[in-house]
Amino acid sequence: MEIKRTKLIFILMGLILISLPFILSCTKADERDENIIIIEDQSSIDELKQVDEEPIISVYWEVTQYSDLTGNQGMFYSIRNMADGSLVLIDGGNPQNADLVRQVIEDNGGYVDAWFLTHYHIDHIGAFNALWDEEKESIGSIYVTPIDYDIYESVAQYYDYPEVYAEFLEFTKDSSLVTALNRGDELEVAGLKVKVYNAFDEKVQELSTDWCNDCSLVLKFSGLEDSFLFLADLSRKGVPLADYILETYGVENVRADYVQAGHHGNWGLPISFYEQLAPKEIHFCAPEWLIVGEEYDAKDLKAWCIENAIAVHDFTDTPNTVILK
């Protein structure tokens, strides 16, 4: 009887030893890490696929607005790809702004991958002309609006400075860097997609009475999530042209998070145009005196921005920077 009891004990102990690993594994399985995703059904798999398909943003761009050293209106922006350091410049301001432009180039590696010159007014390309001899070897590409000089001169007023355009043409006549852009062109620069919504053509001649301003390149720079629309000097005399842009390309496509106010925000496009764009920030390429002066209407656009909680930037807070993702 004692022998049978002993055998039974040994048998029970053997069963326990055999079952112990299985019991331990079940216990560990219940202690699941909270970071482990348990696939229970097809919907869980579909959710995983959606997560995997979301773009991972590993690059962003800094867009910086600068004032003009003259204390007057002008236009100068830099765009830097923060992943590879590539640099884009837009205009540059008056000739007296050359020192600032030079410093921005030096601070960003000494090379301009692409330089956009929106049109030929002195407060937009004056600094470029002043720097041409020393910087021409440090520029990858130059993009311009394609208005013929004879046409420009024939309609120019004294403030259109046709001699500044003539100087530009003389400087760049033997350069292979210059490319004229056309309405509807699309290109990629420094990793950003660029859409051209305006350049000099028959539509400018048909819909504007100020060709020297309204020949301006209108450019939209788009990252993965954010965009910046540059209206350059699109003016009040080109309102039908601005309407044509929205009608042709669609408000949703032209709309941008950040917008540079046309013609420095003064004597430019109507507020109704900006209402359709619905930006979260508007940038005035202008000093305070131009924005608040009673004789100018920039103050009306600024007041509308404030009333609608749209951030305003101008020469009082330059250099100011926004991030495009």
218 strand-pairing partners = 198
Quote the CA–CA distance of 43 and 165 in Å, as a whole number: 63
Give residue 32's pLDDT band: very low, low, confident or very high (50, 70, 90). Answer: very low
Q: Is the peptide bond before 146 cis (omega within 30 degrees of 0)?
A: no
Confidence at residue 117, expressed as pLDDT on a 0 to 100 scale: 99
Closest CA to 254 of 283, 276, 238: 276
For residue 17, pLDDT over 60 is answered with: no
Three-state DSSP at 311 gives strand
Contact status, residue 143 vs residue 117, Cβ threshold 8 Å: yes
Which tokens in the block code for residue 199? 């350049």
Contact status, residue 234 vs residue 254, Cβ threshold 8 Å: no
Closest CA to 132 of 174, 162, 168, 176: 168
Quote the CA–CA distance of 283 and 261 in Å, as a whole number: 6
Neighbouring CB atoms inside 10 A of 5's CB total 9
Give residue 30's pLDDT band: very low, low, confident or very high (50, 70, 90). Answer: very low
pLDDT per position as a tens digit, 222-263: 999 999 999 999 999 999 999 999 999 999 999 999 999 999
Which residue matches tokens 């937009």?
124
Quote the CA–CA distance of 222 and 140 in Å, as a whole number: 20
Give residue 10's pLDDT band: very low, low, confident or very high (50, 70, 90). Answer: low
For residue 86, pLDDT over 70 is answered with: yes
Closest CA to 94 of 121, 63, 64: 121
User: Strand 61-65 and strand 114-116: pairing?
Assistant: unpaired
Strands (DSSP E) contained in 231-306 are 258-260, 281-283
Quote the CA–CA distance of 28 and 14 in Å, as a whole number: 22
Which residue matches tokens 């943003």?
57
Confidence at residue 56, expressed as pLDDT on a 0 to 100 scale: 58
Q: What domains can be seen in the chain, in order of their start residue?
A: 61-324 (3.60.15.10)
Contact status, residue 197 vs residue 249, Cβ threshold 8 Å: yes
Closest CA to 262 of 248, 280, 247, 277: 277
Q: Quick one: residue 289, left, alpha or beta (phi over 0 = left, psi -120 to 50 = alpha)? A: alpha
Mean pLDDT of all residues in 308-314? 98
Rounded alpha-carbon distances, angstroms, from residue 184 to 123, 194, 195, 248, 308: 26, 10, 7, 10, 31
pLDDT per position as a tens digit, 161-215: 999 999 999 999 999 999 999 999 999 999 999 999 999 999 999 999 999 999 9
Confidence at residue 38, expressed as pLDDT on a 0 to 100 scale: 39
Which residue matches tokens 């053997």?
14
For residue 26, pLDDT over 60 is answered with: no
